[in-house]
Every structure is written in C-alpha cells, then in structure tokens.
A and B are shown apart, each in its own frame.
Chain A
Amino acid sequence: MVKKSMSRPNRTIVLILGMGIFLAGFLFLNAQENRVMRISVRDYPNFSRFMVTSSLPFSYKIEREDSSLLVFIETNLSFRIRRERFSSRFVDSFSWEERDGKILLRIKPKHENFRYDHFTLSNPFQIVIDLTPLASVEGKPVQEIEKGEEESEKTKESEQKTSSASGPPEYPSRRDTLNLSPAGKTIVIDPGHGGTESGAVGKFGSMEKDVTLPISLRLKNIIERNLAYNVVMTREEDINISLENRSSIANNNSAVLFISIHANSSNRKEATGSETYFLSLNATDEEARRLAYLENATSSLEENIEGENEDEIKLILWDMAQSAFIRQSSMLAESIQNELNQLLGTKNRGIKQAPFKVLTGVACPAVLVEVAFISNPKEERELQDSKFQSDVALAIYRGLANFLRSYAQE
C-alpha cells in the first residue's frame, strides 16, 4: 500500500494539517455566522442619521448620483444585512445590491436638495451618514413647503396666538404645539411591544404585546368615528419597533397626542387596576440641562451655537423633547385616569410618573396607559375579553377627548 510506505512523522504531519484545515474551516464558518450588517435610520430635528453597523470593519466610499447617495462597501466577504423599520422625514428608502464583489448601498432621500456628512465609529464598527435637507430654490425651508401654503399661514397665525400663553417654553422645532384643532392633525397610538419583544407575560401565557394591539385598534376606530383627527399607529401587526422609532413616528407626523397602550405586571399578587403615567424627568438633572439650553437660546439657536455643538445640543434636546410638555402630559394623564376610574369603579387612584423610555423623545403631550395587570390571573382573563377591551378603549377615548376640548377652550 502507498500509505504504508509513508514514514510515521510524515503521517502525523498530514494529520495535523488535516485537522488544521478542519479547524480553519470551522472558524471561518463561525465567523461568518457573526457577520451581520445592521442598517438603521433615525431622525433628528434638522437631519436624518443613517447608520450602518457591522461586526467587522470595512472601507467604503460615498458618491452622489442624481438625487441618491451611493455607498460602496469594499469587502469581498458576504454579510447578512438586517434592516430596522424606520419612519423618517428626510430618508425615503434604501436598497442594496452586489456589484463587482462590492456591496452597493443606495440611499434615497425625500428631497433632491441635501447635504451629507459622514464619519465612522469603532467598537462596533459603524458608518454614520447625516443627511440634511437644504432650502429649496425659492429659499423657503423644506418643512414649510411640505405643509402646503394654506396650512403654513394658518400655523403662523396660531403661533402668534399661543406664544403668549403661559406654560412651558416652546420646543425649538417651532412646531405649533398648542394648536389642537383637529383639521389635518394626527393622534399617534402606540401599541406596546411587538414581534420578539413580548413584554410582560401572564400566568396563562398571554403576552402584553398581544393585548395592547387589539385595544389600540379599538381606540383608533373610536377616535376616527368621533373626531376629525387622523390616527397613526406605530404598529398594526406583530412586529418589532424600537422605542426610538415609536417617538419618531409621533414627531414625524407632527402628532398632537401620543398614547402608548400597555398591560402591567408586578411581583405583588394583589396588584390590580388601570394606571396612567406621564414622564418623570429624573428631576434636577434633566431640568438643569433644559434650562442650560434655554439660557443660550435667547433668540435663535442657529445664531448662538456654532458648528458641532449645535448638533450635539439638538441631539440632547431631541432625546428629551418630552420635557417641554410635562404639564400638558400630566393633564392628559389625569383626564384619562378619571375615565378609567369611573369605568372600573376605582377611586383614589391617581396618575403616576415614571422614567419611561418610549415617552422621552415625544414632542407633544404623551402618556402611557397601563390598562390592567396581566400578572393578575383575573385581569389577565379580562384583558382577553373583547367587551373589556372596548370599554377601556372607550374610557381612554373619553379622557383624551375631554383633554382636547378643554385645551381648545383655553
């Protein structure tokens, strides 16, 4: 036999080599498993941020082609591309293809006229591309054109009316926050959790994400039947939506109200009932940051703060947009809680404050309603009951309608 003629050291070398190849192959496969590129888009007041996050660094090149932005990713490795759902004022869509062994990413902004900046971060490797829409040919800011002539005139009028009103200072987006007249205005309903994020789970296995959706849909129907507002849902099916995107959806639709629907859970067996929350600001910290900003912003943010600082400050503000609406949010919460108390015959249950992530970035009155405790077996069953779901939706509707009415009079 040929093999027999091989000397022993030779045989060992062949074996070690074989094992080496085996291991290398294994490691390669293993590494490939981790090779994921995640693409996400997030809105800031004046720009949209497009982010490509990857487990491995790569070099890239950005080119402009007509109204699109092309990102050439120079790698001969294959990546799994995972995209996050997004809603953005400036980014319309993006797509990718393989071309000459490169990955070509095509970003389509909503406006032809835009500026872009890019930089990279490491650990994990990330390309960040900021897209800023520029003023259109007529020299008007893009946002105003979007609104349409009539409406922008209307808003200017009401801006004058409301600017003298007391209450928290206006958020610098210059959005008319106190004008709650329904024409063309949007209420955003946020069914908590979704997709792989099931939220709290009851003893009988019902999941928070599965009860928040039908209640939200019922609320949507009631509002649409009774009020002239548009209703936008952050999700209408069982899918993952990041908390940031939920507030982006509210802000991009210039929502007048944001209602997040949840089901509660506690380690206490006795915990029952409905609760309405508004955001707690973690007291002094956030208030201090807000005041520090307001002191700087005497006339116009753009004039006072230069360059990079400007973006940074806007970013901080965007993250805490809700801080300017705490008073209205507490009133909305109270109005909804009153109705829930009447429905359920509970007294003495007041509104509550908590540092909920989903509320921090919302730039309008915003509350989170904990409909009932899914951790309590009796309430878990109720949450599944369609009559209970409608009753709760109706109570929330009454609460928000009362709030809108009293605000319209103010």
Chain B
Amino acid sequence: MKRYAVIALLSILLVVLAFIFFRNENNGNGSTVPPPVSLTEYESSEPGETQEVTLFFLSEDDDLLHPEIRKIPANADLSGKARRIVEELIRGPQSGLVSPFPRETRLRNFFLTDEGVAYVDFSKEFMNKHLSGSSAEIATVYSVVNTLAFNIDEIKKVFILANGKEQETLGGHVNLSRPFLPFYNLIVQ
C-alpha cells in the first residue's frame, strides 16, 4: 500500500509538472529568443580596432533627435555592425541625452535584404513597456531608423518588428506595418 501511495504522489507531481509545462508553452512568446549577446564578449574579441558611429537620442532641450558619437569594435560584416549599433542604441545614451526605449528592450534578431531593407526584431518589451504616446513612438521609431540609415549607407529602409512578428502599431499611433525611410528632419541641425 505504501508503494501505491508513492506512485500516486509521483503521478500527481507529473501532472502538475505537465500543467506548468503546457502553461508555459501557451504564453511562451519568447521561448525561442536567443539570449542577447553580451557586450563584454564583443569588446574582448577584438581588442585594438574600433570605429565611430553616431547614435540618435532624445534631449530635454527640444523634441528633436540629438547625436552621440560612440566607439564600437570594428566590424567588417554589415549585419554584425548594424546589430551592434542597435544594441548600443537600446543600451541608452552616455552623454546626458534621453533614451526613447524601454529599459528592458532587447534585440531578438536582425537581417538585411539585398534590396537594403533592414528588419529589426525587438523583444516584446519594446512594445509592452513602451510609453505609447505619439511623440514617444515617433522618437523611438526614428531613433532606430535614422541611426541605422545614417551609419550604414546600404540600409535604405527599416522594417521594425517586435517579438518576431509584424505589428500594426507601436503603441496605438505609429504604423509599423510598412518599412520606414529615414526622416532626417527630426535630427537637430
């Protein structure tokens, strides 16, 4: 009888585990997300060579995008360079500017087509934790689009995805269902 009880207990445990497992699978939006590449890894891999890139952030001074120059490890591969630029961007400014991204945002995926369309796939926090107001959405979108197009000539348009999917809008305002062209009027002169 004792053994019976042990087996019964084990089976209940199994059912509970199965429950948890399937629950997770149901909401498991991010289960296949590759872990964000750690930044130190990059820095240690290529000690000497660096290149300068221009990142665009918000400023308290006005509602335009302001440049911040940052050094990143030199990268001959365009996609690698673009990834690194986006990662630096969502890491936030270091010179007193204002970040237009939710702190939790991660880059899930990036690819560049031969036609020069960059697909930038952010983690779901990019949308979930976003302030979702017109100005905030415009700043976020054009920080990404202008920064990528400004630093990499091959990038002509930027398609922004979140959680692996095309989204209707970022937070109810800005249309994400089409690729963006850079909009340099938003950059401070």
Contacts of A284 in B (CB 8 A): 181
Contacts of A18 in B (CB 8 A): 11
Contacts of A263 in B (CB 8 A): 133
Q: Are B22 and A27 in contact (CB under 8 A)?
A: yes
Stretch at the interface among A158-166, A326-334, A367-375, A401-409: A367-375
In Å, the complex CA distance between A197 and B127 comes to: 13
Q: Mark B1-19, 1 if CB is under 8 A from A, else 0.
A: 0001001100100110011
- B174: contacting residue among A23, A200, A356, CB under 8 A: A356
Q: Are A267 and B98 in contact (CB under 8 A)?
A: yes
Contacts of B139 in A (CB 8 A): 266-267
Contacts of B178 in A (CB 8 A): 282, 285, 355
Q: Are B60 and A243 in contact (CB under 8 A)?
A: no
Residue of A nearest to B176 (CB): A357
Residue of B nearest to A1 (CB): B1
Q: Are B168 and A268 in contact (CB under 8 A)?
A: no
In Å, the complex CA distance between A218 and B7 comes to: 69
The A-contacting residues of B in range 149-189, CB under 8 angstroms, are: 157, 168-169, 171-175, 177-181, 183
Contacts of A118 in B (CB 8 A): none
Q: Are B172 and A199 in contact (CB under 8 A)?
A: yes
Q: Are B8 and A264 in contact (CB under 8 A)?
A: no
Contacts of B138 in A (CB 8 A): 354
In Å, the complex CA distance between A30 and B19 comes to: 10
Residue A19 CB within 8 A of the other chain: yes
Q: Are B132 and A199 in contact (CB under 8 A)?
A: yes
Residue A253 CB within 8 A of the other chain: no
In Å, the complex CA distance between A281 and B173 comes to: 14
The secondary structure that dominates the B interface is: mixed
Q: Are B135 and A266 in contact (CB under 8 A)?
A: yes
Q: Are A375 and B180 in contact (CB under 8 A)?
A: no
Residue A193 CB within 8 A of the other chain: yes
Known contacts A15-B7, A23-B15, A262-B173; A268 and B133 CB within 8 A of each other: no
Q: Are B175 and A360 in contact (CB under 8 A)?
A: yes
Contacts of B171 in A (CB 8 A): 199-200
Q: Are A264 and B181 in contact (CB under 8 A)?
A: no
Q: Are A19 and B14 in contact (CB under 8 A)?
A: yes
Q: Are A266 and B63 in contact (CB under 8 A)?
A: yes
Q: Are A374 and B133 in contact (CB under 8 A)?
A: yes
In Å, the complex CA distance between A208 and B15 comes to: 44
Interface size class of A (residues with CB under 8 A): 35 or more
Contacts of A27 in B (CB 8 A): 22
Residue A12 CB within 8 A of the other chain: yes
- A393: min CB distance to chain B, Å: 19
Q: Are B175 and A356 in contact (CB under 8 A)?
A: yes
Q: Are A200 and B133 in contact (CB under 8 A)?
A: yes
Q: Are B181 and A200 in contact (CB under 8 A)?
A: no
Q: Are B58 and A267 in contact (CB under 8 A)?
A: yes
Residue of A nearest to B141 (CB): A355
- A90: min CB distance to chain B, Å: 24
In Å, the complex CA distance between A354 and B99 comes to: 20
Contacts of A22 in B (CB 8 A): 11, 15
Contacts of A11 in B (CB 8 A): 4, 7
Q: Are B22 and A357 in contact (CB under 8 A)?
A: no
Q: Are A26 and B134 in contact (CB under 8 A)?
A: no
Q: Are A26 and B19 in contact (CB under 8 A)?
A: yes
Q: Mark A184-224, 1 if CB is under 8 A from B, else 0.
A: 00000000110001011000000010000000000000000
Residue B67 CB within 8 A of the other chain: no
Residue A277 CB within 8 A of the other chain: yes
Residue B53 CB within 8 A of the other chain: no
In Å, the complex CA distance between A34 and B25 comes to: 13
- B49: min CB distance to chain A, Å: 33
14 additional contacts, CB 8 Å, given A264-B134, A368-B134? A11-B4, A15-B11, A18-B11, A30-B22, A199-B172, A243-B172, A268-B59, A268-B135, A275-B134, A275-B135, A277-B134, A282-B179, A354-B173, A356-B173
Closest 10 CB pairs of A and B: A265-B133, A200-B133, A357-B175, A266-B135, A265-B131, A355-B175, A19-B11, A357-B169, A264-B133, A270-B60
Can you list 22 A-B contacts with CB-CB less than 8 angstroms, sorted by A residue number?
Answer: A15-B11, A19-B11, A19-B15, A22-B15, A264-B135, A265-B133, A266-B135, A266-B136, A268-B63, A268-B98, A270-B60, A282-B178, A285-B179, A354-B173, A355-B178, A355-B180, A356-B174, A357-B169, A358-B173, A373-B135, A375-B133, A375-B136
